[in-house]
Chains A and B, each alone.
Chain A
Amino acid sequence: MIASLGTHGGFIVASYALGFVVVAGLVLRAIVEHRVQTKRLAALEERGMRRRSEPGR
């Protein structure tokens, strides 16, 4: 496949591979961070902590 991209195929593949790694990294980071913060928030709420602005308080 790289050969079909001409003499500089390696540069093209490296560019797209890096693009994939950066995009996948950003998406994964956002998903993992959301899970971590949601768990922390749930743990605090389980201990009875509620924000003043929260309804029902």
Chain B
Amino acid sequence: MLRYANPANFLAVARIGIPITGFVSGVLFAVGLWMVFTVAPADYQQGETVKIMYVHVPAAWLGMASYSLMALSAVGTLVWRHPLADVSAKALAPLGAAFTFLCLVTGSLWGKPMWGTWWVWDARLTSVLVLFLMYCGIMALWNAFEDPARAGRAVAIMTLVGFINIPIVKFSVDWWNTLHQPASVARLDGPTIHPSMLWPLLIMAGAFTALLLTLHMMGMRNEILRRRVRTLGLMAAQVGEAAE
């Protein structure tokens, strides 16, 4: 891993990795969507509305996974001053925010026909909304500093403090009485979903995960370029000043 800590090495890896993960994501999306609309049965209670699950659940998983990866990156920034750690964290924030937003809106679109309401202030929904607001706060903090290194340290502290919300999101359905259903896939006693629905869900989750990897590498590559542009821009300004 440390071999690739160098941004130049990372760019070389990303050049190969981005098309591979992008292709894998595309194939998995094609297979997953085909299974969702042709193989996966309607739910005996929810009917076809259960199809929203195949977008909503992977989006929820990625919303939490992105934040967990950001927390790992934050440790890399604060403990090891890893040269790519805050680049990784900055690239993840908008991705996590987008997937959490998708989770919230598709949840609402699922809730209206099934629960009869777009929204309830139960522990799961509220903690996911808090997660989305934290992503927004973190993106605002990134933009509040001129120097990306200073921003990286401030964001890392905020990210680690906010990580307390991740177990709250995960276990909210066990700790409190919620309208949102309890976990049915990631359970100690195994999934409670029938395999005819579980497989399309896992394939869609794989597609979304490969997409996250692709977008994360693209975002990191862009951030490295942005920092190079900033450095060279400052050098150009200094040269210009010296010439005057």
Contact = CB atoms under 8 A, between A and B. Distances in A.
Partners in one complex: yes
Interface of A: 5-9, 11-12, 14-16, 18-19, 22-23, 25-27, 29-31, 33-34, 37-38, 40-41, 44-45, 47, 49-51
A29 B223 CA distance: 13
Nearest to A45: B232
Given A8-B48, A26-B215, A18 B236 contact: no
A7 B113 CA distance: 9
Contact of A41 (B47, B219, B232): B232
Chain A contact residues: helix, strand, loop or mixed? helix
Contact of B222 (A27, A33, A44, A47): A33
A2 to B, nearest CB: 10
21 contacts: A6-B47, A7-B113, A8-B48, A11-B49, A11-B52, A15-B55, A15-B105, A18-B109, A19-B55, A23-B211, A25-B98, A27-B215, A29-B94, A30-B219, A30-B222, A37-B226, A41-B225, A41-B232, A47-B236, A49-B235, A49-B236
B102 A18 contact: yes
Interface centre among A11, A14, A27, A49 (most CB of B within 10 A): A11
Residues of B in contact with A, size category: 35 or more
B90 interface: no
Given A19-B59, A26-B98, A49-B236, A41 B51 contact: no
Contact of B52 (A15, A26, A44): A15
Given A22-B102, A44-B236, A11 B112 contact: yes
A17 to B, nearest CB: 10
B124 interface: no
A41 B49 contact: no
A46 to B, nearest CB: 11
A31 B55 CA distance: 23
A45 to B, nearest CB: 7
Contacts of A7: 47, 113
A15 B73 CA distance: 31
Given A8-B48, A44-B229, A49-B235, A19 B222 contact: no
Interface in B61-82: none
B55 A16 contact: yes
B202 interface: no
